[in-house]
Amino acid sequence: MSGFFSGRNVATNRSGGVRLPPVIDSACPLLSEALQGEYDAQAKAFTGPAYTLSVWQEGSFIKFVLGAGENFPKFFSSFQGLDAGFESIEKILQSGGGNWVLPKPPKLR
């Protein structure tokens, strides 16, 4: 997978304030990219939201979701063992082993 956002765009059939350009962590580049937001280097601007990471435990499984609010797809997955932490999340992102869930359509009033 070439990048977090390109993977999301392929999986969900989606085309593609001033902040500093992202600095991608070499140990977990996809997770780092997701947490900072989609950045267009040519335009020198962020073109997508920064995702947040929520982590919780159910039994022996560590579950997580990457999300950016109700209007964007969310990425869910799980692994075993807290000691693996962010490296496990990065491996799941690299393999595409989680599930993208599209946002629900807005309710009409």
What is the distance between the alpha carbons of residues 84 and 70, in angstroms, rounded to a whole number? Answer: 29
What band does 64 get if pLDDT is binned at 50, 70 and 90?
very high
Tens of pLDDT along 12-57? 655 544 456 778 888 889 999 999 888 888 887 888 899 999 999 9
pLDDT recorded at residue 18: 45
pTM here is: 0.66
Q: Which residue shows structure tokens 């969900």?
A: 12
Contact 68, 51 (CB under 8 A): yes
Domain boundaries, the chain: 4-101
Task: Give the CA diameter of the chain.
Answer: 46
Portion of the chain with pLDDT greater than 70, in percent: 87
